[in-house]
Amino acid sequence: MSKPMHKQLILAIGIFVLGTMGRVLADEAVPGEEPPPAFRVAATGARFGLGVSGHGAAFHQSEAYLKFQLPWSWKYDSGFRLEPTAEISCGCLWDGHDQGVVAALGPGLRVGYKKLPLFLEGGINPTVISPYQYPTRNFGCNMQFTSYLSVRWDVMPRVQVGYRYQHMSNASLAQPNPGLNLHMFSLGWNF
């Protein structure tokens, strides 16, 4: 199987597994019944990213993700609301020569305003990559941290699109620590 086909197969399997988990775990509100549990699956989807200019421009990343709503939220008189989230993702990282696995799990924070379907999200996820040495870059170790800031738009009640700027590095756990910045684009399904 060719490397590009292998990447597409891994991504398709990841999207299927995470989407199936999301459908099984999601608990939607039904009029006249109790509201869904505070901890629930909020969304699932896929992201694709391109390296930012410079030495990291050769890198691409694709991944499937599953986002959870946590049991707390804060609403303010101004109309703003803060909602903590948790996210798990798994996918491929490649540099045009070699490919590897990237997996992350961590907390995030979503900011919304009244009923506006735009959200600002940010977070820091512990991340594991394998391998950590590529022909074009040595990331120092398998353990990385991914910090991100994103904008999400719910184009329809169930469909979301987004843009995310993310930085991945090993936080000086090992040397070298070159880091990698990516522009990520997403398409997701809200539960």
The per-residue pLDDT for 186 is 98
Q: What does the alpha-carbon distance between residue 183 and residue 179 come to, in Å, rounded to a whole number?
A: 14
Instruction: Give per-residue pLDDT as tens, 94-138.
Output: 998 899 999 999 999 999 999 999 999 999 999 999 999 999 899
- Positive or negative, the CA dihedral 184, 188, 190, 191 is negative
The per-residue pLDDT for 57 is 82
Q: Does pTM top 0.85 for this prediction?
A: no
Q: If DSSP states are collapsed to H, E and C, what string results for the chain? A: CCHHHHHHHHHHHHHHHHHHHHHHHCCCCCCCCCCCCCCEEEEEEEEEEEECCCHHHHCEEEEEEEEEECCCCEECCCCEEEEEEEEEEEEEEECCCCEEEEEEEEEEEEEEECCCCEEEEEEEEEEEEECCEECCEECCCCEEEEEEEEEEEECCCCEEEEEEEEEEECCCCCCCCCCEEEEEEEEEEEC
Residue 31 has pLDDT above 60, yes or no: no
The per-residue pLDDT for 53 is 78
Pairing type for strands 99-113 and 80-94 reads antiparallel
Give residue 173's domain range.
3-190
Instruction: Give per-residue pLDDT as tens, 125-175.
Output: 999 999 999 998 999 999 999 999 999 999 999 999 999 999 999 999 999
User: Which band of pLDDT confidence, cut at 50, 70 and 90, is reported for residue 27?
Assistant: very low
CB 188 within 8 A of CB 162: yes
Residue 26 has pLDDT above 70, yes or no: no
User: Which band of pLDDT confidence, cut at 50, 70 and 90, is reported for residue 11?
Assistant: low
Residue 22 has pLDDT above 70, yes or no: no
The per-residue pLDDT for 56 is 75
Residue 24 has pLDDT above 50, yes or no: no
The per-residue pLDDT for 13 is 63
Counting the structural domains of the chain, the total is 1
Residue 17 has pLDDT above 80, yes or no: no
Instruction: Give per-residue pLDDT as tens, 52-92.
Output: 977 678 899 999 999 999 998 999 999 999 999 999 999 99
**Which structure tokens are listed for 32?**
């006249």
Q: For position 158, which CATH number holds?
A: 2.40.160.20
> What are 38's strand-pairing partners?
none
The per-residue pLDDT for 65 is 98
